[in-house]
Amino acid sequence: MGLIIGYQGHGIGYLGLAFGFGFVIGIFIASFIGALIGLFVTMINGFEFKYFRTLFFDISDVNGKIKFTIRKFTPISQYQTIKTGLTDKADIMISVMQLAVMWAVSILIFVLALFGAQGQVYDFYEDNVYSIFMGIASAVMFQSVCITFLTISAHVNAKKNLRGRLKQISRAWINGKRLEDMELPPHEQLGLKTTKYDLLLYENLRFMQKLSFGLYSELLPIVEFLEGNLTKGYIRSEASVYCAIIFYYSYINRNAEKAVYYFGEAEDDLKHDMDSNGRRVMAYYEYYILGQKEQAKKTAMDGLKVIDKFSICHGEREQERKLLEYILYEAE
């Protein structure tokens, strides 16, 4: 009797490990599926494709041309699409569509994992392979629950959280309102519920606003905040934050050690970034940190060549044009 009980306990332990292993794998699979669904739903609703990245692969729109590259490994799949003139009603509709498709796919995966086993139910629970499958399916379902909660919360509390405020700012900016004309107080003064990621995006907008005003002396507290709240391990969705930090330590507060460190973190993306803002950061880094005058001029010229294809915001384009022309003047 003791031997039988001991064997069963040992089996359950293996099944638990198999389930846990499957759950970890499932997190990555869920991320991939979620990104694909988001990309599909937004693009059929008229959004403009910017990039999709998973594992070692990156597909990006580079000045109107789709470019495929091999990058550093990333376990989390990411995508970006943008659209002008997006109303609150349309935004809610798209969110509902994304959730509906995500739940349909999640339930299908869970059912296939649950009933895909051959033989008796007892055999299913004894089979570590199917425990792995159930772990994967559970991770996909878990992500669906989390995203549903976060999405509903974001819409219901749109006026009470920073994400809702960010959407308003982004829409106004994309639709032609200049950052200089917006009121962007420090996030502490807003009194809004938020996440660390939304704080990064908001303070990065404040960095860009003060940069456009030439208020360089007020940038250090923002940069220090950005540094202290970056996600551990570089992710592409925070690339604009890295750009701000690298630009700051390359040009405004020249600190080669920090500039080199943050550039090293974002190097793979920044070297492949052919948009005007990426070329601008690269040019300033090459000139002020690496001392590569001719290369900096070439990089800045590359940025100016595509300036009219960059972004969908006139104010941002003009800001980048001014900064690119300045580095060309400095490098002469």
**CA 141 to CA 47: how far, in whole Å?**
27
Beta-sheet pairing, 65-82 with 48-62: antiparallel
**CA 166 to CA 291: how far, in whole Å?**
37
- In the chain, what is the straight-line distance between the N-terminal and C-terminal CA atoms, in Å? 87
**CA 199 to CA 104: how far, in whole Å?**
32
**CA 274 to CA 282: how far, in whole Å?**
10
Would you place residue 85 in the very low, low, confident or very high pLDDT band (cuts 50, 70, 90)?
Answer: low
In the block, which residue shows the tokens 């399916």? 137
Q: Is the model's pLDDT at 2 over the cut of 50?
A: no
**CA 178 to CA 254: how far, in whole Å?**
28
pLDDT the model gives residue 250: 95
193 or 117, which is more confident: 193
Average pLDDT, integer, range 234-251: 90
pLDDT the model gives residue 312: 56
pLDDT the model gives residue 288: 94
What is residue 78's three-state secondary structure?
Answer: strand
Residues in contact with 324: Cβ distance below 8 Å, sequence separation at least 6, in sequence order = 276, 279, 280, 283, 300, 303, 304, 307
Whether 238 contacts 230, CB under 8 Å: yes
pLDDT digits (tens, 9 = 90+) for 190-237: 877 778 888 898 999 999 889 888 899 999 999 999 999 998 888 877
Burial class (CB in 10 A: 0-12, 13-18, 19+), 247: buried
pLDDT the model gives residue 27: 86
**CA 255 to CA 253: how far, in whole Å?**
6
pLDDT the model gives residue 7: 39
Q: Which of 23-27, 60-64, 327-331 has the lowest mean pLDDT?
A: 60-64
- Name the CA radius of gyration of the chain, rounded: 24
Q: Is the model's pLDDT at 69 over the cut of 90?
A: no
Q: Which of 34-38, 232-236, 287-291 has the highest mean pLDDT?
A: 287-291
| Amino acid letter, residue 153 | S
Cα dist from 142 to 102, 147, 259, whole Å: 11, 9, 39
pLDDT the model gives residue 310: 60
What percent of the chain clears pLDDT 70, i.e. is strictly above it? Answer: 86
pLDDT the model gives residue 311: 58
Average pLDDT, integer, range 279-305: 92
The mean pLDDT of the chain is: 81
| Amino acid letter, residue 287 | Y
Average pLDDT, integer, range 28-34: 87
Would you place residue 245 in the very low, low, confident or very high pLDDT band (cuts 50, 70, 90)?
Answer: very high
Q: What is the DSSP string of 17-54?
A: HHHHHHHHHHHHHHHHHHHHHHHHHHHHTTPEEEEEEE
pLDDT the model gives residue 3: 38
| Amino acid letter, residue 109 | I
How far from chain centre, in Å, is Cα 212?
A: 24
187 or 1, which is more confident: 187
pLDDT digits (tens, 9 = 90+) for 298-323: 999 988 888 776 655 666 778 888 89
Q: Is the model's pLDDT at 10 over the cut of 60?
A: no
Q: Is the model's pLDDT at 257 over the cut of 90?
A: yes
Q: Which of 29-38, 92-101, 166-175 has the lowest mean pLDDT?
A: 166-175
Domains of the chain with CATH codes: 2-156 (no CATH), 180-331 (1.25.40)
